[in-house]
Amino acid sequence: MKSRIFGTETEYGIVVRDDGSSDPVNNSILVIGSCPVLPATHILWDYENENPLNDARGFEIEGEKERPGPEYNRLLNKLMFNGGRLYVDGAHPEFSTPECLTPREVVAYEKAGERIMELCRETSNRIHRRDNGTLLYKNNTDGKGNSYGYHENYLVERSVPFDRLLTELVPFLATRQIFTGAGKARSENHTDAVDYQISQRADFFEVLVDLNTMVKRPIMNTRDEPHADSSKYRRLHVIVGDSNMSEISTYLKVGTMLLVLAAVEEGELSGISFENPVRAIKEVSRDLTLKKKYRLADGRELTAIDIQRVYLEKAKKVFKHEKEGYSKELLARWESVLNQLEEEPALLSKELDWLIKKELMESYMAKKKCGWDDPRISMMDLQYHDISHEKGLYYAMERDGFVTRLITDEEITRAMDYPPEGTRAYFRGMCLRKFPKEVYAASWTSVLFDTGNAVIKRIPLMDPFKGNKALVEKIFNSSFSVRELLEKLAS
Amino acid sequence: MAKQEKRQDKKKEVEKKEETSAPAANISKKGEKIKEDLDKLMDKIDDVLEENAEEFVKNYVQKGGE
């Protein structure tokens, strides 16, 4: 399997109890500003190479680029030891994982981001004397028609036409929720009423393709900002997924996407096209039996599981000779999950978020003799995603053995402190660990040093595969000052 | 050598089959135990669930993000 760089961004819902003003921007700034595990507090985010207005369909949208002044820049952005970014986006605290190479890695860094967020929350409550006043939710909706995102980013070769990605990926994305959905009680955004549905986000997708992420959300987003050489790569910005608490759901969400992207690149195409994908994504979310058939453009009728199996078979064909790497384990789990979903979805009530949450709510309703309309069920729907281990209901289920895990706490702790070793995140993370005082600014594509000289020295990181451990570990080990590091990098 | 390995594989297969064909009573016992444990957890949920659930949920309003 060709190496691919990818990562995720998670926006968190935020509440400050007994807060008269309830300004979410200010509250988010206070939370990330309390982060107790920062390399340094003076470091800026380097906006130089940012351009979120490039459209994958080949044009640039007019609009103002984000360029906050230094003081506000520092309030909004925190660079982390692990090479990730903690920041405030709109009215939410957010964490972007560093650039990863394996799905297991991304699970560890996403959970690491969650733990860092939790440390911020606890510290913020202590500093600002708010007892347990600040609460953070790793979910995607307030249940009143306002959604906040979870985005996946995959580096894709520019030579793959966007139209091919669009055609191939839409049916895959509309049906993968059967294992990636985080579950939701009831419906919103003027969609059909329901007691419980598979996905948090499905109600919000109104068009097929667009650059927008906040209104009229598209199943395929066209933001084309590769944070790399744009003549070689495009960025596939997937905004249609749910934030997951379950490690296995995250693993499958990102992992199956990697397999499907490889199949598309190899020309192993599914040939599937929905008659109406925007309607299908909501219908799939509402069919808890997974038996419903959807009409395709060519007249065939297939279930969501059938459609996933078509993609699975294409991926199997592409990876049949692969012995190393993560594809074997992933293909096996993908297939076994589809088999179990076909036999009886409840078989996965320890593995997948929408089924863990369903089991939790149904057990509660049985015990308390209440129904879906009980406000306590809506509360559970939200509190399942509370990232506090004392209050979060996902963590209550995990603690009592009702959740199967994928990774260990040790992997998560390590991912909080150290960058992935296979990408440029290693270079960024090591600069922040070894020379935090001299790092003036950094971004996905740069590290800037201030060594007290007349000019700030900028190290470009345009190739996300370079700057990995194999290439630069020796240089870091033998450099005892930034000057030495810069000399060795130049020679 | 190869034969021996094969024989071992067969043995494993038999063991596997035995595992999966464990008496149904055992499985339902296991199921009951899970139900019991879940039932216990439900009592604990009330201790951590936000008080005034209705009010809390009503006041939980976020700005759309992304």
Tell me: the pLDDT tens digits for A17-44? 876 667 899 999 999 999 999 999 999 9
* Nearest alpha carbon to residue A340 among A252, A229, A444, A208: A252
CA contacts within 13 A on the Cβ side of A310:
17
Contact residues for A188 (Cβ-Cβ < 8 A; gap 6+): A141, A143, A144, A145, A203
Helix (H/G/I), strand (E/B), else coil: A7: strand
- Judge if A248 and A341 occupy the same domain: yes
Q: How many domains does chain A have?
A: 2
Nearest to A146 among B37, B49, B62 (CB): B62
Chain A residue with Cα closest to B35 = A363
Q: Is A222 part of a structural domain of the chain?
A: yes
Where helices occur in A183-299 by DSSP H, the ranges are: 247-265, 277-286
Say what the ipTM of the complex is. Answer: 0.92
B20 close contact with A: CB closer than 8 A:
no
Q: Is the pLDDT at B27 greater than 70, yes or no?
A: no
Name residues 40-59 of chain B within 8 A of A (Cβ): 41-45, 48-50, 53-54, 56-57
Residue after which a domain boundary falls, among A347, A366, A389: A347
pLDDT of residue A213: 83
Burial label, A83 (beta-carbon count in 10 A; 0-12, 13-18, 19+)? buried
Listed range (A85-99, A120-134, A145-159, A169-183) with the worst mean pLDDT: A120-134
- Judge if A168 and A280 occupy the same domain: yes
Q: Which residues of B touch A382 (CB under 8 A)?
A: 57, 60
Nearest to A400 among B41, B54, B64 (CB): B41
- Judge if A82 and A165 occupy the same domain: no
pLDDT of residue B17: 47
Task: Please state the pTM of the whole predicted model.
Answer: 0.93
Tell me: the pLDDT tens digits for A258-268? 999 999 999 99
Q: Is A367 part of a structural domain of the chain?
A: no
- Catalytic choice (A89, A142, A195, A287): A89
- Judge if A12 and A97 occupy the same domain: yes
Under 8 Å between Cβ of A116 and A86: yes
**Confidence band for A67, pLDDT divided at 50, 70 and 90:** confident
Maximum C-alpha span of chain A: 73
Q: Is A279 part of a structural domain of the chain?
A: yes
- Judge if A163 and A126 occupy the same domain: no
Q: Is A319 part of a structural domain of the chain?
A: yes
Q: Is A470 part of a structural domain of the chain?
A: yes
For residue A67, which phi and psi values (nearest 5 degrees)?
Answer: -145, 75
Nearest to B50 among A239, A363, A379 (CB): A379
pLDDT of residue A199: 98
Give how far B50 is from chain A: nearest CA, Å: 7
CA quadruple A410, A412, A416, A419: dihedral sign: positive
Range of the domain at A218: 151-347
Tell me what the mean pLDDT of segment B1-13 comes to: 48
Torsion, Cα A113 A114 A119 A124, to 10 degrees, reads: 100
For residue A246, which phi and psi values (nearest 5 degrees)?
Answer: -70, 130
Residue after which a domain boundary falls, among A332, A347, A362: A347
**Confidence band for B14, pLDDT divided at 50, 70 and 90:** very low
What whole-number distance in Å separates Cα of residue A117 and Cα of residue A412?
A: 13
Q: Is A368 part of a structural domain of the chain?
A: no
Q: Is the pLDDT at A163 greater than 50, yes or no?
A: yes
B63 close contact with A: CB closer than 8 A:
yes
- Judge if A163 and A297 occupy the same domain: yes
Q: Which residues of B touch A239 (CB under 8 A)?
A: 66
Q: Which residues of B touch A139 (CB under 8 A)?
A: none
Q: Is A52 part of a structural domain of the chain?
A: yes
C-beta atoms of B38 and A143 within 8 A: no
- Judge if A119 and A177 occupy the same domain: no
Listed range (A287-291, A347-351, A473-477, B8-12) with the worst mean pLDDT: B8-12
Under 8 Å between Cβ of A281 and A219: yes
- Judge if A179 and A327 occupy the same domain: yes
Q: Which residues of B touch A91 (CB under 8 A)?
A: 62-63, 65
CA quadruple A200, A202, A207, A210: dihedral sign: positive
CA angle (B32, B37, B39) in 5-degree steps: 95
What whole-number distance in Å separates Cα of residue A382 and Cα of residue A15?
A: 12
Tell me: the pLDDT tens digits for A88-119? 998 999 999 999 999 999 999 999 999 999 99
Residue after which a domain boundary falls, among A324, A347, A370: A347
Q: Verify whether residue A89 is a known catalytic residue.
A: yes
Per the DSSP assignment, residues forming a β-bridge with B14 are none
pLDDT of residue A326: 94
- Judge if A227 and A132 occupy the same domain: no
C-beta atoms of A379 and B64 within 8 A: no
Q: Is A379 part of a structural domain of the chain?
A: no
- Judge if A63 and A128 occupy the same domain: yes
**Confidence band for A50, pLDDT divided at 50, 70 and 90:** confident
* Tokens 């959970």 sit on residue: A111
C-beta atoms of B41 and A376 within 8 A: no
- Judge if A157 and A134 occupy the same domain: no
For residue A46, which phi and psi values (nearest 5 degrees)?
Answer: -90, 110
| Mean pLDDT of the residues in chain A | 95
Give how far B33 is from chain A: nearest CA, Å: 12
What whole-number distance in Å separates Cα of residue A222 and Cα of residue A163?
A: 11
Tell me: the pLDDT tens digits for A284-328? 999 999 999 999 999 999 999 999 999 999 999 999 999 889 999
Q: Is the pLDDT at A65 greater than 80, yes or no?
A: no
